[in-house]
Amino acid sequence: MSSRKGSLLALRGRDPAPSPATAEPEGRAAAPIASSTGTGSGSSSSTVAPSRQGKKAMTGYFSPEMSFAMHMTARKNGMSLQDAMAEAFNDWLRKMGESPVGK
């Protein structure tokens, strides 16, 4: 199996991933979320990439069409998806009367 992600075009027409509620068998609790403080058991998964230090992940679930549009538009404009999302969030903060906070 290749370690590269598939093409964004491959997302079109693909069935959406099952929701977290249907992904786990009934009666089984989801695994706890690991801390991102880097104080794990010494495995490589506890290492924080330098580009992620001092930052906090924010996750959302969107339609495949929204995901495709955001990825393609960001790429078309020479931006990463993270930079495009930061710009969108800052625009929303301004709209709500708050100060933008950067990336």
Mean pLDDT of 69-76: 97
Spatial separation of the C-alpha atoms in residues 58 and 32, rounded to whole Å: 17
pTM over 0.85: no
Mean pLDDT of 29-53: 61
What is the domain partition of the chain in residue ranges?
62-103
What was the pLDDT predicted at 44?
53
Q: In terms of pLDDT, which residue wins out, 76 or 18?
A: 76
With beta carbons less than 8 A apart as the criterion, state whether 68 and 12 touch: yes
Span 6-38, pLDDT tens digits: 565 565 665 655 554 544 444 445 555 544 454
| Separation in Å, CA 8 to CA 15, 31, 60, 76, 87 | 14, 29, 18, 13, 21
